[in-house]
Amino acid sequence: MPLKRLLAHAQANVPFYHDRLQEPDSSVATVSDLLNAVPVTTKDDIEANFPDGVTDGSDPADWRMMSTRGTAQRLITIQGFEKRDAVRAANLRMLRLAGGYRPGMPMVEIPPEVCENVCGEMGEEDEGVLSHLWSMLRERRLREQKSIRDLRGLVERNWIFNRKTYSGFGIHGSHPPPEILDQYVAGLRRDRPYLLKALATYLTTIAKHLRDSDAKPLSIPVIKTMGSRVTPGQRELLETSFGGKFWDDYGSAEFGSIACECDQHHGLHVFDDFFIVEVVDANGGRVADGELGWVLVTDLMNLTMPLIRYKIGDVGRIDHSPCACGRTGPRLTVTGRAHDVIVDREGGWCTTDDVVDFLESQPVVDSAQVSVKSKGWYEIAAVAIRNASIERGVLAASFAQWIGGQPRVDVNVVSTLRPEAGGKFRYVRGDLERR
Ligand SMILES: [Zn+2]
């Protein structure tokens, strides 16, 4: 059993887990029993022991560090060869299962931040694989690490994935002027991707622009988000404007793809040969199916830096009933980041999905951000839909009624929302993790 292999390896070779795990007990048979004996691992645990205390003593020359840039809540993981292979396999499986993408089909990506060796300005042509190889030969850089990495990236993008990358909205925040959005639409009409994968904010802003400018809808079969969430309320807009189907998946740079939707679009099937996913309460006990809790991830493939019952920082629900597609493994629904949850007067959780869908359903609100200033005090920054204006008092009163109690609600009307460092947008700054 892969879990037994992981536990035995971590206990024997990783100082942090040596102390927390028992000697492997061969009489314990079920995954559930094995996991129950392991305490939850937090980001603080990892940071306090990084790197020597949380790695297995293998040769650092074989390591690769993975992290999400610009988000404070994620961690750095160290991956060996086996994990890197598993990441590649899981990514291809996710693309095939959730939308039927196969290598070679045209794909457009609009990532939150322009990455070092992949992206150019919009419309700029990529350097081709062959010309890159020629310049490596000419300049005798065949053994230079950076050139090899760039070459590998180019081959993967141009030959395996057939991927084009557009740059993000940058200084324009969440709402670039219409003429900039027209350029994105023109690019998509020209490149005719099978798959569009972009930051959720970019997807929704371009989709609303298409809707409001009476332009002919696009015809992109598969729409996916990267590095951020699309709420249930935003799906229909995306599918109408882009003329395809939205397929949700779940993962991170540190773990790779963890789960994805099947054609039933009813929860994310966990890749249970690579990961064990649990949803737990504040004490680490598993919650009942359908109940909200913290998501824990156990990575069965990373022996270099084992992460066992790791509290990844997301909240969600789990469902163990069989899916209509025939698969019987657990299905996960992720509803937002834990530090984005607002705790209401009764102690209930309002997740990012709840808050964003509520605000975007308000008259003339295009999009909005909420921050909890202190208990019962909320600040909202809202962008109005084009050619309309928001009544601050009306929006404040409506939010106050929705969240309950007698809160103080301050509303600022703005023309665009600003991203966090790293280019991602945070729509809710909650108070769950502060308690
Ligand atoms: Zn299914």
Q: What is the pLDDT of residues 61-104, one digit of tens each?
A: 889 888 765 455 557 899 999 999 999 999 999 999 999 998 88
Q: Which of 35-39, 42-46, 68-72, 221-225 has the lowest mean pLDDT?
A: 68-72
Q: Answer whether residue 94 is part of any domain.
A: no
Q: How many CA atoms lie within 13 A of 100 on its CB side?
A: 8
Q: Does the structure show a pLDDT above 50 at 117? A: no
- Give the CATH number, domain containing residue 354: 3.30.300.30
User: What is the 277 CA–ligand 1 centroid distance (Å)?
Assistant: 16
Cβ 127 vs Cβ 135: under 8 Å: no
Q: Does the structure show a pLDDT above 90 at 330? A: yes
Q: Does the structure show a pLDDT above 60 at 116? A: no
Last residue of a domain, one of 302, 335, 368: 335
| Residue 211: Cβ within 10 Å count | 13
Residues 287 and 226 in one domain: no
Nearest to 254 by CA among 79, 422, 386, 91: 79
Q: Does the structure show a pLDDT above 90 at 361? A: yes
Segments forming the whole domain that contains residue 383: 341-429
Burial of residue 165 (number of CB atoms within 10 Å: 0-12, 13-18, 19+): buried
Residues 149 and 69 in one domain: no
CA atoms of 154 and 148, how far apart (whole Å): 10
Q: How many domains does the chain have?
A: 3
β-pairing, 428-429 with 365-374?
A: parallel
- Spell out the residues 6+ positions from residue 275 whose beta carbon is closer than 8 angstroms to its own: 255, 258, 259, 297, 298, 299, 300
**Alpha-carbon separation of residue 15 from 53, 54, 55, 82, 238 (angstroms):** 5, 6, 8, 21, 47
Residues 230 and 154 in one domain: yes
Residue spans of alpha helices (H) in 98-199: 129-138, 145-154, 178-191
User: What is the 1 CA–ligand 1 centroid distance (Å)?
Assistant: 24
pLDDT attached to residue 319: 97
User: What is the 319 CA–ligand 1 centroid distance (Å)?
Assistant: 11
Pairwise pLDDT comparison (150 vs 122), residue with the higher score: 150
User: What is the 280 CA–ligand 1 centroid distance (Å)?
Assistant: 23
User: What is the 377 CA–ligand 1 centroid distance (Å)?
Assistant: 41
Nearest to 250 by CA among 237, 242, 236, 261: 261
Residues in the chain, overall count: 435
- Spell out the residues 6+ positions from residue 329 whose beta carbon is closer than 8 angstroms to its own: 269, 270, 272
Is residue 23 very low, low, confident or very high in pLDDT (cuts 50, 70, 90)? confident
Place of tokens 């705790």: 343
Residues 71 and 209 in one domain: no
**Structure tokens belonging to residue 325:** 């597609």
Residues 413 and 348 in one domain: yes
User: What is the 430 CA–ligand 1 centroid distance (Å)?
Assistant: 32
User: What is the 193 CA–ligand 1 centroid distance (Å)?
Assistant: 25
Residues 111 and 208 in one domain: yes
pLDDT attached to residue 158: 66
Residues 327 and 367 in one domain: no
Pairwise pLDDT comparison (124 vs 55), residue with the higher score: 55
pLDDT attached to residue 121: 33
Residues 117 and 243 in one domain: yes
Is residue 227 very low, low, confident or very high in pLDDT (cuts 50, 70, 90)? confident
